[in-house]
Structure 1
Amino acid sequence: MLTAVFSLTGALVFGAADFLGGLAAKRISALLATAVAALSGVVLLLLALPLLGGEWTAHDVLWGAISGVVGCIGIALLYACLAIGPMSILSPTTAVVSAIVPVLYGLVVGGERFGPIGYWGLGLALVAVVLVGFVPERGAVRPSLRGILMAVGSGAAIGGFYIAIDQTSDESGIVPLILNRGVNAALMFAAVAIVAVVAAARARRVRAVVDAGAVTRPSAGLTADASGGRMPRAARPALAAGIRLAVACGVVDATANALLLFGIRAGDLSIAAVLGAMYPAGTILLAALVLRERIAPVQWAGLVLALAAAAMLALA
């Protein structure tokens, strides 16, 4: 019962985080959005550590760090594909893959077994996730091949995060999540720095060409950028808005991950993972309300099936 409650609640909160992350990635780069979100998340978790507690052991620190590397790949791909859009299809695609990977691990490697209602609930949940992302109407927006491949890769990595975090002990509390967010932030800021260095080097080469043209052919009207490479004033509001959205995303994402961690520890990995995969519901509803993206009738049916599956899994 607790697994179903924690996991489904965490999924809805996670969907809101994905929506905020997708909006942030439209205003700033997906790398920067992920880095800022991870940093704000680890700050929140560190503040919550005295309240929630947790033991620091080499085993839990290692698996927390591994989950951070895998999760970093998954979340970066997720935000990037959500920025491409449409959110209402790519988010559920990621969710299906992210559910299948840990379910197979739990059943094959972990030896998890359920009663008949449990297996029916797992199957119904996967169907629900597929229906939520299915848009059959004529003229509906279809995702690009690039977006689909990124969504599948993201789902596989997120599934790996579930498996890695499941290896940690109950006594570790939220310590693995702190390592997860910390490693995520370090990797993403390193990636941002590399991209910035490459961009700066490219800009210097362009200015060198422009300066050479201005000296040898003054009539061409080619001059160096008067801004000195600084960000145009018009772009600053978008950057500030993107940063704010990324910070909010990190806070919401850390909360969702804590709920999902509690769900995993309260019961079976398979149940927690498949219910956690319901997060597209939150993303889709917010996308419909804020971005006016269309929700097809079959998607509403998927949401109803998702609730039914959650009830069946709560009884499993």
Structure 2
Amino acid sequence: MSAPSFSLVGLGPIINRWKNLVAGAVVLAAVVSIVVALLMPNIYRSTAIFIPTNPQTADPDRLLEENGQSRNKLELGGRAEDLDRAITIGESQPVAELLIKKFNLYKHYEAGAPGDDQADNFVLKEFTDNLSIVHNERDAIELTFTDKDKNLAAQIANTLVQVIDSVNQQLTLENRRKVLDLYRYRYDYLSTSFERSRKELLGARKRYGIFGLEMQGRYMVKQIIETEAALRKAEASGGDVAGLRRALRGLTKADGGNLINLESYVQGTDSLSMFTTRVTDLQARLISARSAYETAELSLRGRLSSVYIVQKAYPATKKIKPVRWLIVTGSVVLTFVLSVIFIVLLELYRRNRPSAIRPA
């Protein structure tokens, strides 16, 4: 005995015999897929593009000006470690939980009340599935968020960029504070040294009777010469020699009774020169330290951004899914194929039954 063979040539008549069933299945699939496609919400995608900067270049000690030019500029990213750090921060669970709480995604995803493990896991999974952070071929980061609410998708994408920036800044915030403390300590030390040296200078001026090195020395020499000339004339003419001698001694000797005298001036010249140089140097360093401290404090309080935003996320004007015509077409084609396979198998079964096989 031999069973009858089946050929694709007979596929047309088989489909024709079962055309009502096939047509009904295709129509039913079309109706159901149309209803399902219409009930599916539109999904929108918003993308923000940014370039991370090197956070070390935002340190206060690297933002000072030297010789009228900045020692370091805020460097754009491109480094692998900067890109990886930004992506890691954006994909971290604490950041996800922060945005979930901020935008009340438990209610948006209809997951239930926070605190339930199942609800927490569901919301976290939905959030991570809708989020995409990738490093593109141009050394920038594309942060994409999808949602049925196009405005919410754009808000979450932009907020996530801000959170990445904030966390990135925190990585160097403690070091920047320590640097600021060093500048404050340096300024306080120089301020104390300047005040001490200035008081020492004032004390030396009073002690030696020197209040202006160049002018005072010039007029003192002039007065001594004039007094000595008058003394010589008095000696020759019999004038007040004793008075002029006392006046000359007062101008030349420290014990002569004059506050301003040549002996004290000579003794104090070196000391006053050293004190003046010291005070001038400390004053210049104090001004520089004050400027450095103010720059560092401004840098810390200003919180320089650690990312350069190339493109903010905007509400999408076109949905990305569902593609309704593709859903309907795919459902119809798949139903037709499955129906044909079913009727072919059914025909083969009927033909190969023992009762259908007759002896030759």
TM norm structure 1: 0.26
Counting strand residues as a fraction of each chain, which structure ranks higher?
A: 2
**TM-score, scaled relative to structure 2:** 0.24
Question: Whose relative contact order is higher, 1 or 2, with alpha carbons under 8 Å and at least 6 apart?
Answer: 1
Structure with a larger share of its residues in helix: 1
